[in-house]
Amino acid sequence: MTEITIEKTGNFWIDNGIVGLYKILREADYNVELDATTFSVSSENNNGKNVEEILNHAKEAVVKHYLIQTKNFGWILKEERFEIYRKTDFKMHLKPFFEGKTGKPEEGAVCTPNSKKSDLGAKGRYMTSNEYENFLKFKEEGSSILIEDKKIKLTNKGYLNAPPKYDIGKYFSNDYFKDGDKLCNFSGKYYKKVDKINGINYPFLTSMTGEINFASQMKLKPNISSLYSFISLFSFYNLNFLVQLNEKGKIKDAHYFVLYDNSLKDLEYFQNTIIKDIDNFTKSDFCSFETQITGTQYESESFFNFLLSVYAQVKQRIDRDKRRGILLKKSVFTLSKDGNIFRDVKEYTSLNSLFELFDCFDDNGTDERSYREPFLNFVRYFNKRLDSGKYDTTWRNRLCSDILSFRSILNTVEWFMAEVKIKEDKGGIIFLDKIIEIYNLKTQKKMKQEMVKICQSIGINIGIYAEKENDKSSLYLLRNSKSRTEFLKVLELIQFRILNSEKIPLEFKTKNYEDFFLMLDKDWEEYKSLVSIFSMNSFLIEKKKESEKQ
C-alpha cells in the first residue's frame, strides 16, 4: 500500500485517535497530513517507505509512550550471559483501561532448577547446571548493586534473550481498508474486517484485543472496523487525567478529560495550545495538567480544576477577541472511574460561557481590582466533606457542579456557611459580596441588583448584632426559614431584637424595609439565602475583629 486516507467519524474517541496517530508520526519525523476531515500518509512523501510499515512503527511508538519504567528489576539469559533489565508497566492513569494486560516473553522463561513447574509456562525451561552456577554468582553480584539507592532483588525466574513485551492492539494490515459487507457502526461504511465489540460496561466497549474502547451514547454492542479499532489505540495519547490513590497505592478515583472539535485540524491545534510539559510537574504520574486547586477528588471539582488550567493557558495564548469563535466549537468529554466502576461519558459544551465568567472575575468592569484569586480561594474553602462526612462528596464538588452548570450557588454557600464556617469560627470569606455579585450578574439575570444590595445591607447589620449580643440563634432562624411567610416573620423578630439592643450603634440598626417585603416574589428563597449568607459572613468577620483586639 502506497497511500491511505482516514476520514473522521464524528466519534470523539476515534477522532482523537486520528489526531494522536498524526502527532506520533510527526514526532517520528514522518511527513503526514491532517485537515478538517481527513488524515493522510503516503510512501511518496516518506522516501518510498511502505505505509503499512509506517503505521506499525506508529503503533510501537505509542505503546512505548503508554509504558513507564518501574523501580523493579528482572533478568534475561542472552548468549550464555545474564543481564539485568528494568521492568515496565502501564502509566498509572492508563492501568484502568488495560486491566489484566501483562508483558509476554517472545522465547519463554528460564528458571532455576528448584522453581515450580508452573513458572516455566508453555515455552520455558530449567537452567542447566552450568547456567545455574553462573546465575548464583550473577545474583550475588547483583545484590550489591545500588540503583537509585535501592538494592536490586532478583527472582529465580528470568527470560530468554529479551524481556517480556507488551502486545497492545493489532498491527495494521492492508486488509483493513478492503470493502466488504459488514457495517462499521462508527463510520457508517462497510468493510471486510469488522469486530463485534463485547463490552459489558456501557459506555465502555472492550475490543477483541483486550483494551477498553468506548463509544459515546451507544447502548447496543456495535461493530467496529479493524481500521478504526487500530486507530482507537492512539486515543489514549491525548488523554488528560487526574488520579487519586488509596492507602495501598491503588487507584481510588480517576477522572479523564478528552478535548473535542468537529475539525481534526482545529482539535490538534487546540491540544497543542493548552499542552504543558508534564515532566515539569511534581506529580506527573497522577495529573496531566497544572492544578489550580489542591486535593480535588470528586468528579465536578476535578473537572473544574482541569478547566481552570485550560483557561489559564487559553488566556495566555489566544487573544480574547478571537477566543469566542474558537471555543464555541470546542467541547470536553469527561469520564470517571470510582473503584471498579466507570461512570457514563458526559459532554461539556459550555467552555466559552465558563471562560467568559472567569474573565469577569479578572475584569468585572466596576473597579480595577482583579477578583480571580479571591474567587479561587472561595472555591478552595469548600474542601470539607459534605454534612460532616455523611455523604461521599465534598462541599466543593457541589459548588463546582453549580458553577459548571451556571446554577445559583446561594443554596450551597448558605448551607456551607451554616454547617462549616460558623462551626469552624475562623473568620469570614474575604470579598464574598463581590464574588456573589459578579457571579450573579453573569449567570443569574433574573435577580434584581437593588434587591441584592438590600439583602447585603440587612445581612451585614444582622451579623454585627449577632456578634455583639452573642445571638447565633438569629442566624439559624434565618437559615432554617422554610417559607416566605416564615422568613418575613423571622426578619421582623430579628429587627425587633436589634432595635432593642443597647450594644448596636444607631447606624447599624436595621430599618423596616417595607419595599423589600413587598418586592419578594416566588424567588424569595434566593433572597433569603443572600440575607442568611451575608449575616453569617458579617458575624464571622466581626468576631475575628474582636478576637484580634484582645
The SS3 of residue 441 is helix
Looking at the whole model, is its pTM more than 0.85?
yes
| Residue 203 CB partners (closer than 8 Å, separation 6+) | 214, 215, 216, 217, 218, 219, 344, 345
* Cβ 286 vs Cβ 335: under 8 Å: no
pLDDT in tens, 75-85: 999 999 999 99
* Cβ 314 vs Cβ 274: under 8 Å: yes
Which residue in the block uniquely carries the three cell numbers 513447574? Answer: 117
pLDDT in tens, 476-494: 999 999 988 899 889 889 9
Q: What pLDDT score does 199 carry?
A: 46
d(CA 257, CA 403): 18
Q: What pLDDT score does 461 carry?
A: 92
Q: How many CA atoms lie within 13 A of 273 on its CB side?
A: 21
Between residues 483 and 389, which one has the greater pLDDT? 483
Between residues 445 and 514, which one has the greater pLDDT? 445
Angle among Cα 142, 148, 150 to the nearest 5 degrees reads: 50
pLDDT in tens, 220-275: 667 889 999 899 899 999 999 999 888 888 888 899 999 999 999 999 999 998 87
Q: What pLDDT score does 370 carry?
A: 92
Question: How many CB atoms sit inside 10 A of residue 35's CB?
Answer: 11
Question: Residue 389: pLDDT band by 50, 70, 90 thresholds?
Answer: low
Greatest pairwise CA separation for the chain in angstroms: 101
Question: How many CB atoms sit inside 10 A of residue 493's CB?
Answer: 13
pLDDT in tens, 288-307: 888 899 989 999 999 999 99
> Cell digits for 533?
449568607
d(CA 421, CA 428): 8
The DSSP bridge partners found for residue 104 are: 165
Instruction: Flag whether pLDDT at 519 surpasses 90.
Output: no
Q: What pLDDT score does 514 carry?
A: 58
The SS3 of residue 136 is helix
Average pLDDT on 328-339 reads 87
Max avg pLDDT among 45-49, 341-345, 387-391, 546-550: 45-49
pLDDT in tens, 170-220: 899 999 999 999 999 889 999 999 877 654 333 344 344 444 544 444 556
d(CA 258, CA 238): 7
The string of DSSP codes covering 236-259 is GGG-EEEEEE-TTSSEEEEEEEEE
Average pLDDT on 20-46 reads 97
d(CA 228, CA 186): 8
Percent of the chain with pLDDT over 70: 89
Q: What pLDDT score does 512 carry?
A: 61
Q: What pLDDT score does 377 carry?
A: 96
Q: What pLDDT score does 207 carry?
A: 43
User: Cis peptide before 96, with omega less than 30 degrees from 0?
Assistant: no
* Cβ 498 vs Cβ 465: under 8 Å: yes
- Identify residue 332 by its one-letter amino acid code: V
pLDDT in tens, 489-508: 898 899 889 989 988 888 77
Between residues 252 and 112, which one has the greater pLDDT? 112
* Cβ 170 vs Cβ 226: under 8 Å: yes
Percent of the chain with pLDDT over 90: 60
Phi and psi for 46 in degrees, rounded to 5? -135, 50
List of E strands, 306-451: 331-338, 341-342, 346-348
d(CA 440, CA 436): 6
